């Protein structure tokens, strides 16, 4: 649980959960997890977070400013 206090881990976990929901055909839930991941990622700035943010935005089909 301690590791989830790391924001990058939290965003990664939300993205993993989104993948799990996709795998189990619940694409609405997958979108909800990705939206939460994006919202979470926007609160922090780091190279790792920027990469994750672009990854989740791409999965949602959203273009982020360069």
Partner 1 sequence: MESADLVATLCGGVPLALAIAGHRLTGPTTWSLRHLAEQLSDERERLDVLATGDVQVRTAFELSYRLLAPESAMLFRRLALIHGPDTSVALAAVAADMPPDDTETLLEELVDASLLRPDVPGRYSFHDLIRDYARERLHSEEPDLEKHRLRTRDWLLSTAMQAASAFLPDDKGASDLASADRWLSDELANWRGAFREAVGDGAYERVLALARSMHWYSDHRATGDLWLEVYTAGVRAAGELGELEQQAQQLNFVCWVYVARHTHIPLAMRWHQEALRVAEECGSLAETAWAHYYRSAIETRLGDHAAGVTHARRATDLFREAGQPMNVVLALSYTGVLLQRLGRFADAVETHRACVAEERALRGIQRGVALENAAQLLLRLSDALVAAEEHEEALSVIAEAEELVGQGAANLLSMARHTRSRTLLAAGSPRRANS
What is the smallest separation between the CB atom of 25 and partner 1, expressed in angstroms? 4
# residues near partner 1 by CB under 8 A: 21
Q: How far apart are CA 5 and CA 28, in angstroms?
A: 26
Q: DSSP characters for 14-65?
A: HHHHHHHHHHTT-HHHHHHHHHHHHHHHTT---HHHHHHHHHHHHHHT-PPP
Q: Is 65 in the site for partner 1 (CB under 8 A)?
A: no
Q: Is 22 in the site for partner 1 (CB under 8 A)?
A: yes
Site residues, partner 1 (CB under 8 A): 1, 4, 10, 13, 16-17, 19-20, 22-28, 30-31, 55, 58-59, 61
């Amino acid at each position: 649980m301690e590791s989830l206090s790391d924001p990058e881990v939290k965003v990664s976990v939300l993205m993993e959960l989104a993948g799990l929901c996709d795998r189990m055909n619940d694409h609405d839930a997958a979108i909800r997890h990705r939206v939460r991941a994006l919202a979470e990622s926007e609160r922090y700035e780091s190279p790792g977070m920027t990469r994750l943010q672009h990854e989740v935005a791409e999965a949602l089909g959203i273009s982020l400013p360069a």
